Structure formats: C-alpha cells, structure tokens
Amino acid sequence: MTFLPPVASAATGFTETADPAADSLTFVNYQRAQVGMPALSNNTAIATAAANHSLYLYDNTQVGHYETAGLTGYTGNSPEDRIDAVYSSNTTGEVVIAYQGITAFPSSSQPIQALFEAPFHRNVMLDDFLVSGVGYKQSGDTSKVSSLTMDYAGQQNALGSLQMIASPYNGQSNVETTWYASESPSPFEFNTSYNNTNVGYPVLLSAGLGASMTVSSFTIATAAGTNVPCQEIDESVEAESAGMAVCTPLAPLTANTSYIVSAKGTMTKMGGVAQAFDLQWEFTTGAVNVPYDAPSRLTASSQLNALAATGTTASTTGTPTPATASTGTPTMVMPSPQHQLSQ
C-alpha cells in the first residue's frame, strides 16, 4: 500500500484574487496536488447549480443542502438532484458554508479554508471527483444568509487499487497546530467534551470513492517517540466515515515540531478484496494558528455569525434549517458530510 506522489502543480502555491468562486477551486486544486490528486475541472453548468443553491439559501434564509419545492429559487431537493439535472453522474458531492450577520465574506478564501480544516469536509474536497463548480451569494444584508456552495461530480479513478492519500501528506511542512472542533458528524462523537474546543489539527487517511476501510491502529507521535493522545474514528464506528479514517489530537499540536503518523488496518476498493495496510508518514507543524472557524477569529471578522458549514451528497430526504440571527459569540455548525455513489 502506498501514497500517491504529489503532482507537478503542487509547487505553484495559492494566492487570493478576491473572487470567492475562483479562489475556492484554486485552493482545493492546490491542496489536491499536494496529496497527489489531479485537479478538478471547472464545469460551468455545475457552477450555476451551486450558485442557484446559494441563492435559494439567501432567498429563504436557510442553511443546509436540501431545498423545499414551492419555495423561492427551488431547483431540486438534494445535491444529487440538482447536479444530475445538469451533469449526469453516478458520483456527486457537495460542501456548503453559510453565514448570517455579515454582508460579505471576511475574505475570498475564508469559507473554503474553514471547510478544509474540518476532516469530513476535507475528505470530500480531496476525493476522486472529476469536475466541480462553485457558486456563492454574499447577502449585503446582515439579516440574510451569505453562503458558498461547491459541487462535485464524475470520477477520475486516480487512486490505484493499492493507493491512498493522507492529509497532512508525507513530508508536509507548516501544518496547522490547531482546529476548532465544530463539525458534524464530529470526530468526537463519542467523546463530546472536546466538541467546540481547540484541539489538534486532524490527520486524515482516505482510500477514495467507493472504498471501505477499517483501522486497527492509528497513532501520532513526536519524532522523539512521545505519543500524542488522539481520537480515532472510521466506518466501524461512524457510517459516514466510509473509505476514510481520522485521528484528531485531543490538544493543539506543538508549533514547529515533527510528527510521525502510523496507521494499520484493511482497505477494500469497490469490487476488490480486502488488502492489509501498514503505513507511516511524517509532517511538521508551523507557527501556532487561529482556526478559520474559531469564535475568536469569527468575532474579529466583523462580528461574523457563521450558522452552518456542511459537506454532503446525502440521502433522499432532509429538512432545511431556518437561519436565525444569533447574539453573543458567533458559532459555526458543520452537519453530516457524505458522498453519493450509485452502483
């Protein structure tokens, strides 16, 4: 079992251009290149579908992935419905982040970077999709919802039968030390005292679309051999973790420090047989960071009230969540990322 090597574009870096749609796709493709995944092509029809969903959230002051027929701007109940209407595919995905209490995003890349820090959402962005489209709506009205939607479809089959990806990837430097654990499903689903606190940057291992993975051991240690306590989660305990596993440190990592990750288990690609894996890789943290979804960062950004961030291509039913103005410390909620893979 091996990791994909980085692709040539991994060295090009990422620079904001003040265009949230363009910057989101560029940022995601830069991150994909780091782990060896090929770039997503921009699909204008899917981008329109994504923009329409963000407009629906604005029109109806809601957050989430599902739409209700008869409401203003309705274009399809689920992400799969909306994407299939413009791009036929048996694999679809969506991540959404929505805010209330601001008239525009704090920066053009803040929404996508907040989503990428969260491991279930990060897995969607790094997965083996072929095309993507990004749409957004900045409200101009603090009582309305500003949101960014990124949709995915198709499959590249870039991952071989004995290949996986890791994030942070092997040899990565300047890795964030800290993540604010506000995602759902939470990596701390069975250890809830860590929810909505600063923890270590989550380590993700992914086998790609349609794969199944069970981890028997997943550890993080310093180069000196000191174990880092972490919460491990995979599909044996969380169904929405299919094809992935996450180890989230219980406390922020130490700045400018090298870490060694070890993971053992079994992985099965679609239609294949179970393969054992025993992987080890290293990364090095940078300076102490403030997570993109941390209340302190959000408060510093024009009293940002972030209502929800979601990553999904979920099932056939769902209830939209009305957005409500909040007071006090801003919050961010990240419900239930999934993939839709039709056999």
Strands 275-285 and 244-249: unpaired
The residue type found at 343 is: Q
Residue with tokens 């890349």: 109
What's residue 182's pLDDT? 85
* Long-range CB contact pairs, 324-328, < 8 A, 24+: 324/100, 325/100, 325/101, 325/142, 325/143, 326/100, 326/101
What's residue 106's pLDDT? 84
Contact yes or no for 9/95 (Cβ under 8 A): no
SS3 37: coil
pTM comes to 0.89
Q: Which helix (H) or strand (E) holds 137?
A: strand 131-137
What's residue 8's pLDDT? 65
Q: Is the dihedral of CA 105, 107, 108, 111 positive or negative?
A: negative
CA distance 280 to 262: 4
Q: Is the pLDDT of residue 318 over 50?
A: no
List, for residues 46-59, the tens digit of each pLDDT value.
Answer: 999 999 999 999 99
The residue type found at 196 is: N
Q: Is the dihedral of CA 197, 198, 203, 209 positive or negative?
A: positive
List, for residues 181-229, the tens digit of each pLDDT value.
Answer: 988 778 998 899 999 999 999 999 999 988 999 999 999 999 999 999 9
**Full DSSP string of 216-257:** EEEEEEETT--EE-EEEE-TTT-GGGTTEEEEEESSPPPTT-
Q: Which helix (H) or strand (E) holds 56?
A: helix 44-60
Q: Quick one: what percent of the chain has pLDDT higher than 90?
A: 63
CA distance 291 to 134: 23
CA torsion angle for 225, 229, 231, 236 (degrees, to 10)? 50
The two three-digit tokens of residue 80, written as one number? 């799969």
What does the mean pLDDT of the chain come to?
85
Contact yes or no for 233/250 (Cβ under 8 A): no
Other Cβ atoms closer than 10 A to 288: 13
The two three-digit tokens of residue 18, written as one number? 């003040």
DSSP class of residue 127?
A: S
What's residue 312's pLDDT? 46
